Every structure is written in structure tokens, then in C-alpha cells.
Structure 1
Amino acid sequence: MRHITIVGGGQAGLVLAIGLLQSGYSVRVAQNRSGTDIANGKVMSTQCVFGTARAEERRLGLDFWNETAPAITGMRIAVAAPDGSGNKAFGFVGNLAAPAQSVDQRVKFPRFMDAFVAQGGTLEIVDAGIPELERYATDSDLVIVAAGKGPVSQLFPRDDARSPYDKPMRALSVVYTNGTTPYEKTCVTATLIPGAGEMFMIPCLTSSGPCEILFIEAVPGGPLDAFGAAMDIETQLAKTKSLIKQFVSWEYERIADATLTDANGYLAGRVVPTVRKGVGTLPSGKHVLGLADAVILNDPIVGQGSNNAIKAAAVTLDAIVQHGSAPYDAAWMNATFELAFQRVEASTMWSNMILMPPPPHVVELLARASGKQDLADKVAQGFDEPGTIVPLFADPALAAAA
């Protein structure tokens, strides 16, 4: 039986690990926190998993929250007036072909970790660095790095050709809330605020039940850039409400009485979107394969992080199984990484596009969607498979013809 070690028990690492177990492999996951630590810690993400990625989890028997998490059936998209008045210029609701779902990773990952162990996997709680990777590379047929910072991340050189930004393009703020007034149709709400950034409202399931995530993506130095890592949670919620009232006033009434889900339901930070080379070389000369955020890290502006992780894990799982008993050499690792990158390349392109001010043809496309339901649905479905929408955002002629 071939033995595979995965460093990182997050969305990609756990999906891949469970898939490998079910395909007959011996699997170890090295993870720096226990399930209890994760469940009792701060939120980690604004995760929203769309239909195609959910289907990958479902085929592995991991669709644990179908009856309890809010079923997100559409995307509610609006553009605020460019004069800063807080009024809406236009907006629409696009339907998703299959429901999306957001489950707090403090709920999701511990459940996945339990499933992994129950199915025969080995879970090692360790903050894995280079010495641990060397050990894994000695006693495993393949080592996959799905998480890591510092020296571990530096094993994978930055790919400048695929990384157009060298600094954060948004300042991020997240609060998990109760007490918001729901819309009749359960949607992710996304509002573009010209020159300032974006605001998102995401129905979610957390440990205490259904909630709504209030998520701000602020252009650095702009009027929405009002949060810092040292800000306490009550101040962060109050500031979030104030900015919603000022910049997306039509949403304020329904979130005015929002309260915090828990003392750890908040997050602030900045991300440098970066694509790295997919194969790392240890000091010993042994090679390791990079996966998901470890090598393809996007800004969360179009909500693709969890989807990319699942899709890349699915591609990697299929590549391992199809490889049979052949050695996992550097050439195979690089080819496998390229397959995974191709699967999420459109998502990476779209995320990077949206970080820049929208060109006129994109604004016109969204404006026409407000009066054309089939186009509104096409835009919404682009969040599930960005490859269907990227051409319209990239090409004015295709956008005009849509």
C-alpha cells in the first residue's frame, strides 16, 4: 500500500486525504491544530462553496450540512452610485443552477478531521517545518504541502508570470452576525462601491446555527479601509454597520440590529495574491508537491478560495490514482500541479481582474443584467465556474454580445 503524507488539514488537504483513503492509500495528515483548537478559535474565512465543488465533496460522502446550512440559491449583485451618496445605481439577482453553501470552517474542518480518522487516516498534530518534511519525504511515497508559512512556503518560488501583484490589493474585514433580516430569496449579496471597494453579505452556518457574514473588501487607503488587526470585535461590528449605512444605505435597515455570533467571530487582514511554482525542493534534494493555497493564493474578492481548494484536490486525487505504482518524481509533480492550476486558472484570472477598477464594458454588462434575467443568471453561475464568465469580463465584444 502506498503511503502519502499531506501537510495541512484545511479544505484541500482534508478532501484529498479522505479521497485517497477511499481509493486504498495509507494517508497521514500533519496539521498544526486539533479539531478542538479549530472549533474554539477565530474564524478563518468567508467560505462559500458553489455547486460544482459541493458535488466533489458529495461524491466523497462529505455533504454533512445539506439539511442545516442555508441553501444559497442566487447571487444578489449591485453597484453603488459613483457619487458616494450611498444610493444604488442598479442591481439584479441571478439564479444559481445548484445551491451553494457556506459552513464556518470551525465547524467544517473538525468534522472532516473526525471523518478522516474514522476512515483509517493518521492525524499528526504538529507545526510541520523543514525537519518534519524531510522525515515525511523519507518514510512516505509522496509528500503534499497544502499549508505552510515561513521556510515551508519558501520551498515554492513565486511565479512572477502568474502573479501580477506584489502587495495586498484589498484590506479585509469579516464579522459573523446574528439578527439580520433575511431576504425572501437566500443569496450572497455583493455590492461594488466605485473607488472604495466591495461589500458582501453571506448566509452561513456556524456552531450556534445559521448566521450572516458581513465582509468588506477595502481599497487600501480608501474610505472603507478602517480596520486593523488590533481592533476589538465590538468596534469592528459597529464600524461595519456604520460603513454599510454610509455606502450601501439600502442594506442598512436589515443589518442595523445585528449582533455577534461569538467572541471569535471576526477577522481582519490583507492578502498578497500569489501563484508559486508547484514543486518544492528540500535541502536533502527530495521533492514535495504544493497544493491549493500553499501555491495558488487568491484574494477572496469573488469567493473562490474553498472552491479552488476542492477542485485542485479533486484533480490531484485523480492524478495520483491514475499514476498507479509509478514513482512520484519531480516531472510528475510538476505535471500534476499544472493540471490543478489549469482547473482554477480562470478563477485566478477573474479574482485578479476584479481587484482593478472595472472597465466600462464590465459596468455596462452588469447594468444590462439588471434587465435581462438570462444574463443575470449567467453572471451568477460564473461564481460556480469562472471559466464561463471570464471571457465576458475580458473581451468588450463578447460582453456586448451577451
Structure 2
Amino acid sequence: MTKILIVGASPAGLHLAHGLLTHGYDVTMLNARTSGEIRTSQPSITQFSLPTALAHEQQADLARWEHVAPRISGARLHLHPPNMPASTVESAFSSYGVSVDHRVKISDWLEYLEDRGAKVVIHGVTVGDLDYFSRMFDLVVLAIGYGELGALFDRHTSGQAPPPRTVAQAIIEGVHPSPHVQMHPVAPPRHAPPGYLPEPVASDYADVASTPELRAILSPVLTDVGPQHVLQLVGAPGGPMEGWPDRPRPEEIWRWVSKLTAQHTPYLHQRLEEAYLPASEQDASVHAYTPHVRAPVATLPSGGHVLGMAEAVISTDDPVAAQAGNMAIASSQHYLARILHHTQGPFTPAWMSETFEGLWQGEPTAEYPFAGMGQACLGLSQVLDQIWDPQAPAHLTEVLGAAATHQQVADRFLGDLDDPRRYSWLYESESARAYLSTLT
């Protein structure tokens, strides 16, 4: 039986582990923290499972919060161009997505993986450990991208590196409801006691404000205490997201986030007039990160090799583009398909490179439907980041203007978030303007 080690209980690593286990592989998950430690850890950047990603979680029996998670049924984009009136673009999604606090998602998936029969080992990992494990397993996959292990991978030759960003995040209560809130009856969870009827769940749009100085996202999220809202502010160095106190306390972060929201995003500020950090949780944090693309294969001191996946080699944490969840599912599904089709011989460095390059820039096929998602996910983040840049292509502003007045453009612009490969029409002025010329 093929033995596979996955290092790092990230969403991508856990989804791959569950898929391999379903197909009869000998799976070991190695992680530095227990599920209990994950549940009580500091919050990470909240991410979204958009409709297609959520559908794959459902197929894998990993959407384990269907009866309680608030649904994200669409998006409303508030545009604040420089020296021009503000406008709004909104659209319902073809289906709904969800946002689940990673401390809930990862710990639940990790416990479920062990319940299903995988070996879960809780231990910190060094490069020396990986060197040893590479001789014990047929394939070692690294699913975390920070620290000593992330530094194993060289920079990928994919062009200019995106700029660093700062994300401030607060999980809050008391948010004023939006006009799009609806309640939906849901089916009881599997193995629910007889007669159990869950409460209806709410659905709402995610509110996104885009200004030249920063981006803000307000959306429903499921935490360990139930449905709440998460507010995220994103900015580049040199703007209003700089100047945070050293090691700020949660209440300091919330005051700063509230102030910036009032200054730059008036509509969101109206919804937050009575919002507050729950006293029992105090979940507010500041994160600095730099999007990256790394070469997928690391060579260990003894000559063994490690294959990087998802955040280990492609960082897409920008919540504005909402592609981190897409990248996790695409990476796990593409790697799973490649492993299933590899029926004999060792997992060579050439095979590893081909696996990544297919995910990064390949053409989708029936066997590999997620090919090309890597470049598309990161590329979308870069395009959205430059919308208000004076050097941005003029057609981007034209598309946004059309989206504010033509619902079909709004539906396409926001609906394509579900699969960023569909944005190819947006990136070149000729194709974008050809599309706009068809409007009536």
C-alpha cells in the first residue's frame, strides 16, 4: 500500500488526506498542534468557501456545519474611486458559500481524519525530520508555508512578486442587518437524534468596500460560539494600515479598525455603529503577509524530495479576492487526481514538478478539472489590488463603471469569483471592451 505523509493540518492538506484515505491509501498527518490547541489558538485570516469549493467539501463529507453556518449568498461591492462619486455593484451567487473560522474547520477535520483511521502524529517538524521521513514514505507533501519548512522552496520563476499586505481582522457581534438577510430551513445533520430540528440559518451578502487607500470586507462567519461577523481591512505598506501599536491588545485593534472604517467606508461604518468585540472572545488580530509563488519541489540533505502544495508554494491570503479557499480545494483535488493516476513507479521530482505546473498554468481536462487555478487565483488578487492605481489599465475602470449600471456585468464580474479562470475576459483591454460593446 502506498504510504503518504502530509505535513501540516491546513485546509488543503486535510482535504487531500481525507481524499487519499477514501481511496485506500496509507495516510499519516503530521502537525505541530493538537486539535484542542488549534481551537484555543490565535485567529488566522478568515477565508471563504465559495459555491464550487463548498460543493467539493460537501462531496467529501467535510461540510460539517451545514445546519448552523450562515450562508453567503452574494456580494455587494462599494466602489470609492478617487475624485469621483461612489457607486455600488451587487450580485447574487449561483449558489451559496460559507465562511468557517479556521480554528473550527481545521480542528474538526483533523479529529474526523483520525476517527476515519488515518495516523495523526502531533509533533514539531524540522528539515532533519523531513529528511528522515522521506526514506519512510513513498511521498511527502508539505501543506504549510511558514518558517524553516517554507524556506525549503525556491522562488518560482513566475514574474514579479506581489507587494506585501497587512490585514486587520475583528470577529464581532451587533452588526446591523443588511437588506439581503434571509432565513432558510435546513436538514438535520447526519446522526442527529430522532426529532431534532435545527434552527433556520441566515443568508446574507458579503459587503466589500474598495478605496485607493484600503479594502474592507464584512461578512458572516461561523465561530465556535455560533454565527458572528468578521470585519477585515487590507492595505499595502505606506498607507493607513501602517502605524499599529507594538503588540496591540484586541480592544486597541478594534478601535483602530473602527476608526479606519469610519474614515474610508461610510456604508460599512453605518452597519457597525453598534458592533462590538464579544467579551468572552476578544478576537481581533493583525497579520502581515507577502503573496508568493515558490518552486514546488524541495531537495533534502540526503537527496530525498518534498512536494509543496497550496499555501506552501502559492500564497493567496488576500480576503478581497476570496481565493484562499478556492486554492486549497483546487490544490487538494488536483494533487489527489495526479496521485490516483500514478499507478506505478516512484514519485519522482519530475512528476512533482509536472503536478504543480498543471495546477499553476495547465489547461483543464476531464481528468484534471482544476488545472490552471494557481495562476488564476493569484492573478486575480493582483488585478484587484491595482484597480485604483493611476497606472492601472483604463479598461478596468470601464468595466467597473458598466457593472454599476448593467446587472449582467455585475453578475459576471462578481460571479466569476467562484472560478477565477473565467476572468480571462477582464485582463486584456481588447476582450474587455469587446464584451462591453455587446451591452444594450
The TM-score normalised by the length of structure 2 is: 0.86
Query: Distance in 1 between the 2:240 and 2:310 partners?
Result: 32
Aligned equivalent of 1:350: 380
Aligned equivalent of 2:315: 297
User: Does the aligned pair in 1 maintain the 2:298–2:305 contact within 8 Å?
Assistant: yes
Q: What percentage of aligned pairs have identical amino acids? A: 30
Could you list the structure 1 runs, at least 4 aligned residues long, displaced by more than 6 angstroms after superposition.
none
The alignment status of 1:103 with 2:136, answered yes or no, reads no
Deviation at 1:166, TM superposition (A): 6.5
After TM superposition, the structure 1 = structure 2 runs for residues 73-112 of structure 1, keeping only pairs within 5 Å, are: 73-83=73-83, 89-112=86-109
Q: For residues 48-77 of structure 1, give each alpha carbon's deviation from its aligned partner in whole angstroms, at most 9, with x where no partner exists.
A: 111111122112111111221111111110
**Equivalent position SS for 2:209:** strand
The alignment status of 1:397 with 2:416, answered yes or no, reads no
User: Does the aligned pair in 2 maintain the 1:370–1:376 contact within 8 Å?
Assistant: yes
The one-letter code sitting in structure 2 at the alignment partner of 1:332 is W
1:117 to 114, 117, 120: 114
After TM superposition, the structure 1 = structure 2 runs for residues 102-251 of structure 1, keeping only pairs within 5 Å, are: 102-159=99-156, 161-165=157-161, 167-168=163-164, 170-185=165-180, 186-194=204-212, 196-227=213-244, 230-251=247-268
Aligned equivalent of 2:65: 65
Q: Which runs of 5+ in 2 are unaligned?
A: 181-203, 361-371
Deviation at 1:390, TM superposition (A): 4.0
Q: Which runs of 5+ in 1 are unaligned?
A: none
1:306 to 325, 340, 359: 325
Give the direction of change, closer, same or farther, for the CA distance of 1:395–1:82 in structure 2 (3 Å limit).
same
Q: Greater CA deviation, 262-271 or 316-325?
A: 262-271
**Equivalent position SS for 1:369:** helix
Aligned equivalent of 1:365: 399
Q: For residues 97-143 of structure 1, give each alpha carbon's deviation from its aligned partner in whole angstroms, at most 9, with x where no partner exists.
A: 11111000111111101110011011111111112112211111110
Give the direction of change, closer, same or farther, for the CA distance of 1:148–1:388 in structure 2 (3 Å limit).
closer
1:322 to 337, 341, 358: 341
Aligned equivalent of 1:13: 13
The alignment status of 1:280 with 2:298, answered yes or no, reads yes
The one-letter code sitting in structure 2 at the alignment partner of 1:22 is T
Q: For residues 338-391 of structure 1, give each alpha carbon's deviation from its aligned partner in whole angstroms, at most 9, with x where no partner exists.
A: 122223211111112222224332122112111211111111112111111243
Give the direction of change, closer, same or farther, for the CA distance of 1:249–1:343 in structure 2 (3 Å limit).
closer
**Equivalent position SS for 1:259:** coil
Q: For residues 157-199 of structure 1, give each alpha carbon's deviation from its aligned partner in whole angstroms, at most 9, with x where no partner exists.
A: 011x32522651x2211111111012132111111112x1211
**Equivalent position SS for 2:397:** helix
Q: CA RMSD in A?
A: 1.7
Query: Distance in 1 between the 2:244 and 2:78 partners?
Result: 23
1:339 to 351, 354, 358: 358
Q: Greater CA deviation, 127-136 or 259-268?
A: 259-268
Query: Distance in 2 between the 1:247 and 1:269 partners?
Result: 20
User: Does the aligned pair in 1 maintain the 2:403–2:410 contact within 8 Å?
Assistant: yes
Give the direction of change, closer, same or farther, for the CA distance of 1:251–1:167 in structure 2 (3 Å limit).
closer
User: Does the aligned pair in 2 maintain the 1:349–1:390 contact within 8 Å?
Assistant: no
Query: Distance in 2 between the 1:325 and 1:182 partners?
Result: 56
Query: Distance in 1 between the 2:245 and 2:120 partners?
Result: 34
After TM superposition, the structure 1 = structure 2 runs for residues 261-272 of structure 1, keeping only pairs within 5 Å, are: 261=278, 262-263=280-281, 265-272=283-290
Query: Distance in 2 between the 1:238 and 1:80 partners?
Result: 23
Query: Distance in 1 between the 2:140 and 2:122 partners?
Result: 16
Q: How many aligned positions are there?
A: 395
The one-letter code sitting in structure 2 at the alignment partner of 1:128 is V
The one-letter code sitting in structure 2 at the alignment partner of 1:217 is V
Give the direction of change, closer, same or farther, for the CA distance of 1:88–1:172 in structure 2 (3 Å limit).
farther
The TM-score normalised by the length of structure 1 is: 0.94
Q: For residues 68-88 of structure 1, give each alpha carbon's deviation from its aligned partner in whole angstroms, at most 9, with x where no partner exists.
A: 1111111110112524xxx96
Aligned equivalent of 1:382: 416
Q: Greater CA deviation, 66-75 or 224-233?
A: 224-233
Query: Distance in 2 between the 1:173 and 1:2 partners?
Result: 42
The one-letter code sitting in structure 1 at the alignment partner of 2:255 is A
Give the direction of change, closer, same or farther, for the CA distance of 1:68–1:163 in structure 2 (3 Å limit).
farther
Give the direction of change, closer, same or farther, for the CA distance of 1:229–1:364 in structure 2 (3 Å limit).
farther
